[in-house]
């Protein structure tokens, strides 16, 4: 790093080099953040159309007209894909990770700034390609975000399975490449660019979470990339990796001997770690925020680190729990099931430690803290349906029902998004130099918390009653028709909750220009980003290299001058 004569010393001039093709991790982080913000509104709008269609199937929606069954499936496919890749993977890691990982470890930038810029713009191209799928002949694919072949591999299997499906796979493949570049950068930066005194066990838990997430990404996205290429070959060059002899609409297709289960194994080998890619950064942010606003050290720092490491480790050994009903050997279900239960243990440790952090604290209820507390509540609620689904014998009833939809939305969807909200409200002052509006933040929080529970808790009731997912109309089957009142309730809850998100967006943009000026350390927090100016200079610390003397969460230290000790404080009041 030294050989290049400090490349970070001078900020680039000119609009394009400064804001578009910037090499500054802070600008790139903000680019990722706005990409994800755009994507989340697209994804949310698709879900709104879905909820409206389920309850008013004959509604004539402006610009969309009457939604057909195949259009509904297109909406759910694109909702899932956009949310998982371009929101849950993009914002927590690419956005906040990019911006704050280097600052929190005391580095002037990422290890590979050019690679960093490339990974953002590659992600951007992937987003353009997936949006393009809406506009091609036949429209976007209808095979669900999991894209199980033969449905996803045979062009005649349904509308949207032509060019739309090719674009869908291509977009995911491009996204995989971008994520691999990002993961390498995060890992190298964490290992090689820490400031003096920033030992591994002094890293903020956010840094640990981004680091572990990057390792998961490095191992998982390569597999998805390969799986996607094989699917493209099956679709366009007549290979048979995933497709055996099938007869679609009376026509014998040209495939022979492929295995539909092979895709499921490869997809979920990526897909399950992906769940943790989405939620781990949220865990990191929740820990950081809970400790800051509790004015207490995090309870069991080491246990938190080991818990995240073991969640990441076990996360790679449980993909088969998505496949208990797939025709996979029932013996392997035993192993997958036990290993899945094992993940419950570190997850429980984290919950206990968050509660322990708030025990005997002095909690300050700023908006980031509200979201961190909401995160814990949602993590518990979404997590406790896990031990149902982890049991193959209960999966007989619950697999592919709304119980699953409720489970993963609460835990990897909404909990992860609460992590992002906490992160936004917490770091906004540092990123944009101004404070967000607190009263509106609180109103946004309470509507969103109650609203998301009102949308996703009833899904568990639906699922227990046998309510299958991915149906565009629930009035065809008698017992499903009796569950329509629940659907109606969920749709109303969704409309209100989605409406409340505009409070957030208005608050965000209004505060960016009109919010009160933020001080360097408005939350009286201890980690390195709060030692530098607001917003940080191009090289993060204005030519100074920070030296670290303490662990990340030294709050309420007896004998200290203030109720918090910055990581860079040279006075030795604590042993950590």
Determine which helix (DSSP H) or strand (DSSP E) holds 77, and give its type and residue range.
helix 69-81
Regarding 262 and contact with another protein (CB under 8 A), the answer is no
The correct pick among 301, 428, 432, 504 for binding another protein (CB under 8 A) is 301
- The closest of 280, 275, 282, 286 to 408, measured between CA atoms, is 275
Q: What is the 3-state secondary structure (H, E, C) of 80-92?
A: HHHHHHHHHCHHH
Residue 457 CB, nearest distance to another protein (Å)? 5
Residue 442 CB, nearest distance to another protein (Å)? 7
Q: How far apart are the first and last CA of the chain?
A: 29
Nearer to another protein, 347 or 534 (CB): 347
Q: Buried b / exposed e across 1-23, counting CB within 10 Å, b at 16+?
A: eeeeeeebeeeeeeeeeeeeebb
- The closest of 333, 308, 305, 307 to 319, measured between CA atoms, is 333
Do you know the residue count of the chain? 576
Residues of this chain, 138-177, that bind another protein according to CB under 8 A: 142-144, 148-151, 154, 157-159
DSSP-derived letter for residue 61 is: E
Nearer to another protein, 268 or 299 (CB): 299
Beta bridge mates, 555: 564
- Residue written as tokens 């659907």? 487
Regarding 392 and contact with another protein (CB under 8 A), the answer is yes
Nearer to another protein, 6 or 397 (CB): 397
Q: Could you write out the DSSP letters of every residue in 424-442?
A: HHHHHHHHHSBPPPHHHHH
Nearer to another protein, 158 or 228 (CB): 158
Interface segment toward another protein; rule CB under 8 A; list 38-46, 169-177, 183-191, 390-398:
390-398
Cis bond leading into 535, ω under 30°?
Answer: yes
Structure tokens at 485: 């009142």
Nearer to another protein, 233 or 262 (CB): 262
Residues of this chain, 484-513, that bind another protein according to CB under 8 A: 486
Residues of this chain, 328-357, that bind another protein according to CB under 8 A: 330-331, 333-334, 337-338, 341-342, 344-345, 348-349, 351-353, 355-356
The correct pick among 299, 314, 418, 425 for binding another protein (CB under 8 A) is 299
Interface size with another protein, residues (CB under 8 A): 120
Interface segment toward another protein; rule CB under 8 A; list 130-138, 178-186, 397-405, 523-531:
397-405
Residue 145 CB, nearest distance to another protein (Å)? 10
Beta bridge mates, 401: 468
- The closest of 335, 340, 319 to 264, measured between CA atoms, is 319
- Residue 98 CA, chain-centre distance (Å), reads 14
In the shown chain, the binding pattern of residues 97 to 136 toward another protein, with x for contact by CB under 8 A and - for none, equals ----------------------------------------
In the shown chain, the binding pattern of residues 442 to 471 toward another protein, with x for contact by CB under 8 A and - for none, equals x---x--xx--x---xx-xxx-xxx-x-xx
């Amino acid at each position: 790093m030294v050989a290049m004569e400090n490349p970070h010393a001078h900020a680039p001039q000119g609009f394009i080099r400064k804001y578009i093709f910037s090499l500054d991790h802070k600008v790139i982080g903000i680019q990722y953040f706005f990409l994800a913000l755009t994507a989340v509104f697209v994804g949310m709008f698709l879900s709104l159309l879905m909820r409206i269609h389920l309850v008013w199937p004959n509604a004539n929606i402006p610009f969309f007209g009457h939604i057909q069954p195949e259009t509904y499936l297109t909406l759910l496919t694109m909702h899932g894909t956009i949310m998982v890749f371009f929101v849950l993977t993009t914002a927590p890691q690419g956005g906040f990770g990019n911006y704050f990982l280097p600052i929190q470890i005391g580095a002037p930038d990422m290890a590979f700034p050019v690679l960093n810029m490339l990974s953002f713009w590659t992600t951007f191209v992937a987003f353009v390609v997936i949006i393009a799928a809406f506009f091609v002949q036949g429209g976007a694919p209808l095979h669900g975000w999991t894209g199980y072949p033969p449905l996803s591999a045979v062009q005649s299997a349904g509308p949207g399975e032509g060019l739309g499906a090719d674009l869908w796979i291509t977009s995911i493949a491009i996204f995989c490449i971008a994520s691999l570049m990002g993961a390498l950068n995060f890992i190298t930066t964490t290992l090689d660019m820490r400031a003096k005194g920033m030992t591994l066990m002094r890293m903020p838990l956010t840094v640990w979470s981004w680091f572990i997430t990057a390792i998961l990404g490095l191992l998982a996205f390569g597999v998805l990339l390969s799986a996607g290429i094989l699917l493209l070959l099956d679709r366009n060059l007549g290979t048979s990796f995933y497709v055996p002899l099938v007869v679609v609409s009376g026509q014998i297709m040209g495939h022979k001997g492929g295995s539909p289960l092979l895709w499921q194994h490869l997809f979920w080998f990526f897909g399950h770690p992906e769940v943790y890619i989405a939620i781990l950064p949220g865990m990191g942010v929740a820990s950081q925020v809970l400790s800051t606003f509790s004015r207490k050290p995090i309870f069991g720092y080491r246990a938190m680190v080991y818990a995240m490491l073991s969640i990441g480790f076990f996360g790679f050994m449980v993909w088969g729990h998505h496949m208990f009903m797939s025709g996979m050997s029932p013996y392997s279900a035993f192993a997958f099931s036990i290993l899945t239960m094992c993940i419950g243990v570190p997850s429980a440790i984290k919950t206990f430690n968050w509660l322990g952090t708030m025990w005997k604290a002095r909690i300050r209820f700023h908006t980031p803290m509200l979201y961190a507390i909401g995160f814990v509540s949602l993590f518990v609620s979404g997590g406790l349906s896990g031990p149902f689904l982890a049991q193959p014998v209960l999966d007989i009833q619950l697999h592919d029902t709304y119980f699953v939809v409720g489970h993963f939305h609460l835990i990897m969807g909404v909990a992860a998004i609460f992590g992002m909200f906490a992160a936004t409200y917490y770091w906004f002052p540092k990123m944009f130099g101004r404070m967000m509006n607190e009263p509106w933040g609180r109103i946004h929080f309470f509507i969103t918390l109650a609203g998301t529970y009102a949308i996703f808790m009833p899904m568990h009731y639906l699922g227990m009653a046998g309510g299958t997912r991915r149906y565009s109309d629930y009035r065809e089957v008698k017992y499903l028709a009796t569950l329509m009142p629940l659907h109606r309730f969920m749709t109303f809850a969704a409309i209100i909750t989605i409406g409340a998100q505009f409070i957030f967006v208005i608050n965000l943009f209004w505060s960016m220009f009109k919010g009160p000026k933020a001080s360097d350390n408005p939350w009286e927090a201890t980690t390195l980003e709060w030692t530098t100016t607001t917003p940080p200079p191009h090289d993060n610390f204005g030519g100074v290299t920070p030296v670290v003397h303490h662990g990340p969460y030294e709050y309420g230290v007896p004998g200290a001058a203030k109720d918090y000790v910055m990581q860079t404080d040279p006075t030795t009041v604590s042993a950590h």
